[in-house]
Structure 1
Amino acid sequence: MGNSSSTPSPATEETKCTSTQKVGIKSGKKICCSCPETKQARDACVLANGEEDAECKKLIELHKECLRSEGFDVK
């Protein structure tokens, strides 16, 4: 009987990009939305094997290269 809302609050949606993130020079995308293929592979590997795994290190570097190609300055 109360007036409750069924829509999730924006604060709980961690996967959305925020407006304070930098935008890639070449792509015009925010860093969180750039290179989704390499990001997904990197994240899956790190979750399964840890960041120090040799294959994961390769995937991390591939993702960094992709982000650099989009115009982001990553270390």
Structure 2
Amino acid sequence: MGNVSEKVEAASVPQIKDQSAAEPPKKLKPCCACPETKKVRDQCIIERGEEYCGDLIEAHKKCMRDLGFNI
């Protein structure tokens, strides 16, 4: 019969799993991507109208493309 204290110590040590290898990375949803450019773009469209916010719209599209979205 083995030493009881060794069994207790081994049982109390938590097993650490590498979660990055076990779980696939979560995909970023388009609604959550580029919140900085999205907020500014939306505010401009609300206040001034879409025709006056082309540069902000394009900046948001670029941000989305840079993250891999097909915009």
Larger Rg computed on CA atoms: 2
How much is the aligned-residue C-alpha RMSD, in angstroms?
Answer: 1.3
Write out the 4+ residue segments of structure 1 that deviate beyond 6 Å after TM superposition: none
User: Structure 2: how far apart are the matches of 1:30 and 1:63?
Assistant: 15
Tell me the number of residue pairs that the alignment of Structure 1 and Structure 2 aligns: 46
Give the structure 2 partner of residue 70 of structure 1.
67
Unaligned 5+ segments in structure 2 are: 1-25
User: Structure 1: how far apart are the matches of 2:29 and 2:50?
Assistant: 24
Unaligned 5+ segments in structure 1 are: 1-26
Q: CA deviation at 1:33?
A: 0.1
Secondary structure at the residue paired with 1:71? Answer: coil
Give the structure 2 partner of residue 42 of structure 1.
41
Report the TM-score, using the length of structure 2 for normalisation. 0.62
Q: CA deviation at 1:50?
A: 0.2
User: Structure 2: how far apart are the matches of 1:41 and 1:63?
Assistant: 9
Q: CA deviation at 1:59?
A: 0.2
